[in-house]
């Protein structure tokens, strides 16, 4: 049978039922395993290369993304592993100029030192001719500006030019969109955020249907060792079961917050791809099954952002996004190329009426 997203989230990666065993077995805490004294390792020899708890998580992610997955210690570990495993000196890659700042910093530093050139492209375009590029990376929706790229169209353009297309699926999650089904060669994401949703672990992954690409990245991971620990893998797998429920409430809250903000004259630059008035709405409504619970807006100054966050009872001042608690951060303080009053607002799963009332009160008090 073909199941819907909520069912798939609950059952992804679970072992076959066994009498007396839990639905999701607990984490296996082991670095080495027993060896056969004559023939050596069986299925597992050392946890950096084979680990049952990590493999169960990878199976779950792979089911939802639509291609085999490899887990990493963080999203940044995943994206840098993908780049370093697939590019070489003399190659050029295209990266989102408005995406995660650490990826641009990595390109300016480590990639440039290795002789790999990079070009920065806005998520909303215009896009250059991809001829001569080795890889094009999209981050859609972009973090923090929330522009959306047309994955299928850009996959066609990249492939026509002989380039690979990779998509950072962090904000959308595999329940929001499936880039591999839209023509992307690779998906990379931080599992720290909406995928796991409890703000209590670091995780990343790469997924691809291309066995050769997967093999190169797996070899890189094996030799460099950027694997997540067993407990983080188990926490992640456990948390994924509620992803559909969490994301549904977050999207509901984001829709209400976006509507509230667009109706206020003291808030500018409201962005949420689910708003019909948003520039990204035409592509997002066609491409995405669910819009993430992230809203961007501007309060005009750093001081007003501070007053807003100090007054709000339900909005925690914290970086990252996608958790069950509503959070907000002023991105300029982290070096993002944003205005001093720009806010990235991540909706949690609080009751919508309570969140709207709290945000309204805090905005009024911050003026």
pLDDT of residue 243: 98
DSSP one-letter string for 216-258: HHHHHHHHH--PPPHHHHHHHHHHHTTHHHHHHHHHHHHHHHH
pLDDT in tens, the chain (367 residues): 889 999 999 999 999 999 999 999 999 999 999 998 998 778 888 999 999 999 999 999 999 999 999 999 999 999 999 999 999 999 999 999 999 999 999 999 999 999 999 999 999 999 999 999 999 999 999 999 999 999 999 999 999 999 999 999 999 999 999 999 999 999 999 999 999 999 999 999 999 999 999 999 999 999 999 999 999 999 999 999 999 999 999 999 999 999 999 999 999 999 999 999 999 999 999 999 999 999 999 999 999 999 999 999 999 999 999 999 999 999 888 877 899 999 999 999 999 999 999 999 999 999 9
CA pair distance 367, 112, nearest whole angstrom: 45
Residues paired with 177 in a beta bridge: none
CA pair distance 46, 82, nearest whole angstrom: 23
Pair 197, 327: CB distance under 8 Å: no
Pair 291, 273: CB distance under 8 Å: yes
Rounded to the nearest angstrom, the gap between the alpha carbon of residue 200 and the centroid of all alpha carbons in its chain is 15
CB atoms within 10 A of CB 251: 19
CA pair distance 169, 208, nearest whole angstrom: 13
Cα→Cα distances 343→18, 36, 305, Å = 48, 57, 8
Q: State the Cα angle at 226 between 223 and 231, rounded to 5°.
A: 130
Cα torsion 304, 306, 307, 312: sign: positive
Residues paired with 83 in a beta bridge: none
CB atoms within 10 A of CB 51: 24
Cα→Cα distances 258→20, 103, 214, 295, 353, Å = 48, 28, 39, 7, 14
CA pair distance 57, 63, nearest whole angstrom: 10
Q: How many residues does the chain have?
A: 367
Q: Which of 287, 78, 108 is nearest to 184 (CA)?
A: 287
pLDDT of residue 81: 98
Pair 291, 251: CB distance under 8 Å: yes
Q: Which domains does the chain have, with CATH numbers?
A: 5-240 (3.40.640.10), 243-366 (3.90.1150.10)
CA pair distance 99, 107, nearest whole angstrom: 13
């Amino acid at each position: 049978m073909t199941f819907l997203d909520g069912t798939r989230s609950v059952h992804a990666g679970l072992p076959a039922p066994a009498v007396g065993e839990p639905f999701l077995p607990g984490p296996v805490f082991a670095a080495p395993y027993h060896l056969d004294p004559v023939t050596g390792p069986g299925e597992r020899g050392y946890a950096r290369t084979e680990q049952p708890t990590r493999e169960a998580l990878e199976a779950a992610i792979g089911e939802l993304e639509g291609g085999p997955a490899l887990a990493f210690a963080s999203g940044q570990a995943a994206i840098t592993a993908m780049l370093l495993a697939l590019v070489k000196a003399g190659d050029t890659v295209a990266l989102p100029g408005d995406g995660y700042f650490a990826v641009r910093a990595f390109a300016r530093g480590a990639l440039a030192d290795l002789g790999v050139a990079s070009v920065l492209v806005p998520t909303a375009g215009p896009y250059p001719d991809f001829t001569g590029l080795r890889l094009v990376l999209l981050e859609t929706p972009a973090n923090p500006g929330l522009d959306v790229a047309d994955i299928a169209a850009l996959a066609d353009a990249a492939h026509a030019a002989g380039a690979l297309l990779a998509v950072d699926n962090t904000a959308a999650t595999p329940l929001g969109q499936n880039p591999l089904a839209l023509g992307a060669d690779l998906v990379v994401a931080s599992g720290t955020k909406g995928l796991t949703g409890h703000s209590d672990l670091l995780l990343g992954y790469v997924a691809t249907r291309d066995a050769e690409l997967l093999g190169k990245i797996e070899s890189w991971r094996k030799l460099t060792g950027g694997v997540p620990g067993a407990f983080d893998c188990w926490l992640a797998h456990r948390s994924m079961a509620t992803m559909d429920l969490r994301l549904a409430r977050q999207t509901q809250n984001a829709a209400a917050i976006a509507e509230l903000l667009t109706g206020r004259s003291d808030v500018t630059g409201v962005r949420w791809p689910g708003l019909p008035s948003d520039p990204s709405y035409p592509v997002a409504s066609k491409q995405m099954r669910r819009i993430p619970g992230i809203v961007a807006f501007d309060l005009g100054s750093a001081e007003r952002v501070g007053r807003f966050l100090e007054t709000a009872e339900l909005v925690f001042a914290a970086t990252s996004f996608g958790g069950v608690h509503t959070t907000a951060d002023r991105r300029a303080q982290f070096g993002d190329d944003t205005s001093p009053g720009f806010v990235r607002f991540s909706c949690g799963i609080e009751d919508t009426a309570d969140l709207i009332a709290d945000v309204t009160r805090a905005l009024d008090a911050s003026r």
